[in-house]
């Protein structure tokens, strides 16, 4: 269990170090092209994924903090139950670290700092951060893990 909580903590540290670096290097909404399809940009997201509810008037900050806290409690309980299942525990730790990384931003700043911006011609993916990436990869791995099922030896125990 400690290993997985330590991994989640490492995600939080990486998330906040990158957000701090971007915030100290770029002004709000400033962008630096890195590749023809990728830029670093500093934006503040008061909503959820894809800026969902970003213009809701402020209540969404507390709503998303509450969702993050509830998710944290559930994930920690799941980690406790499945600490000896590496695929599942790794996935849960990714989601936990990402969720807490963004919750900390919401509590301290009132918004989440996003900075990874992929685009091509008229197509642009909304900016995101390390925490968002961890949540996405963790969720994808959880889905993959659930589709793969457990080996027969584990099903009988």
Q: Which of 15, 55, 105, 132 is catalytic?
A: 132
Q: Is 27 a catalytic residue?
A: no
Instruction: Tell me the pLDDT tens digit for each residue of 61-115.
Output: 778 789 889 999 999 999 999 999 999 999 999 999 999 999 999 999 988 999 9
Most confident region among 26-35, 54-63, 148-157 by mean pLDDT: 26-35
The DSSP secondary structure of 25-39, one letter per residue, reads HS-TT-EEEEETTEE
Q: Which of 15, 55, 114, 145 is catalytic?
A: 114
pTM for the whole structure: 0.86
As a whole number of Å, the end-to-end CA separation of the chain is: 21
In 10 A of CB 83, how many CB atoms?
A: 17
Q: Is 132 a catalytic residue?
A: yes
- Residues 43-67: what's their mean pLDDT? 71
Instruction: Tell me the pLDDT tens digit for each residue of 121-144.
Output: 899 999 999 999 999 999 999 999
């Amino acid at each position: 269990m400690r290993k997985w909580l330590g991994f989640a903590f490492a995600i939080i540290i990486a998330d906040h170090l990158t957000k701090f670096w971007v915030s100290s290097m770029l002004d709000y909404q400033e962008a630096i092209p890195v590749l023809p399809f990728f830029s670093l940009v500093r934006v503040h997201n008061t909503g959820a994924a894809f800026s969902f509810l970003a213009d809701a008037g402020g209540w969404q900050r507390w709503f998303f903090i509450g969702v993050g806290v509830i998710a944290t409690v559930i994930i920690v309980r799941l980690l406790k139950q499945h600490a000896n299942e590496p695929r599942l525990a790794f996935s849960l730790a990714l989601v936990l670290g990402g969720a807490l990384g963004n919750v900390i931003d919401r509590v301290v700043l009132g918004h989440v700092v996003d900075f990874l911006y992929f685009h091509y011609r008229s197509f642009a993916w909304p900016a995101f951060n390390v925490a968002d990436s961890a949540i996405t990869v963790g969720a994808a791995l959880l889905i993959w893990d659930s589709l793969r099922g457990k080996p027969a030896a584990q099903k009988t125990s």
